[in-house]
Amino acid sequence: MESRKPLSAALVGSWSLRSREDRNAAGELRPEPSLGSDPIAFLVFDKGGNFAAQFMRRVPVTGPEPDRPAALAPNNTWTRGGYDAYFGTYTVDDGAGTVVTLLQGALSRENVGRSFTRAITVTGDDLVLRLETATPAGEPVTRTLQWRRVG
């Protein structure tokens, strides 16, 4: 029987986004306007505790960018023009199945210095990341991102 790697070992690599969904407490899909329903994204975790993420809206926004809420979204970063990018360091709690990231650089300067906790599972070459956040209107949602290992 093959033993399962701890999250801290299984997480290391490069990942391409397969899907990203926001659902409210009733399980209803809530579209996210800044990156759209099908963004392109790339995520990297290295062995030294560094990470980087980039997200881009697949279909460009025409016209003005949607208004930002007055406050930062809970447990989430802000995008600019249908794009988001940030990097920093990470630590893993193998027992809890969580990763805490600390942003050292970000496209939106408001995000620099923020830390975020994510529930992550890795099964083979599939990574599922979950976080609690809110829609621009303030409705609580659970965001689920599914990634595929590419390196």
For residue range 28-54, list pLDDT tens digits in order.
999 888 898 899 999 999 999 999 999
Residue 1, domain member (yes or no): no
Residue 101, domain member (yes or no): yes
pLDDT, position 114: 93
pLDDT, position 68: 56
- Using the predicted structure, report yes or no on whether residue 66 has a pLDDT greater than 80: no
**Full domain range(s) for residue 145:** 7-149
Instruction: DSSP letter for 148, please.
Output: E
CATH number for the domain including 14?
Answer: 2.40.128.280
Measure the CA–CA gap between 120 and 123, rounded to whole angstroms: 10
Residue 34, domain member (yes or no): yes
Assign 9 to helix, strand or coil: helix
Give per-residue pLDDT as tens, 80-136.
888 999 999 999 999 999 999 999 999 988 899 999 999 999 999 999 999 999 988
Model confidence band, residue 64 (pLDDT cutoffs 50, 70, 90):
low
Residue 2, domain member (yes or no): no
Give per-residue pLDDT as tens, 130-144.
999 998 888 999 999
- How, if at all, do strands 115-123 and 98-106 pair? antiparallel
Q: What is the pTM of this model?
A: 0.90
| Domains: count for the chain | 1
Report yes or no: 146 and 130 within 8 Å, Cβ to Cβ.
no
Residue 77, domain member (yes or no): yes
- Paired residues of 141 in beta bridges: 133
The owner of tokens 């193998």 is 94
Model confidence band, residue 1 (pLDDT cutoffs 50, 70, 90):
very low
Residue 47, domain member (yes or no): yes
Residue 106, domain member (yes or no): yes
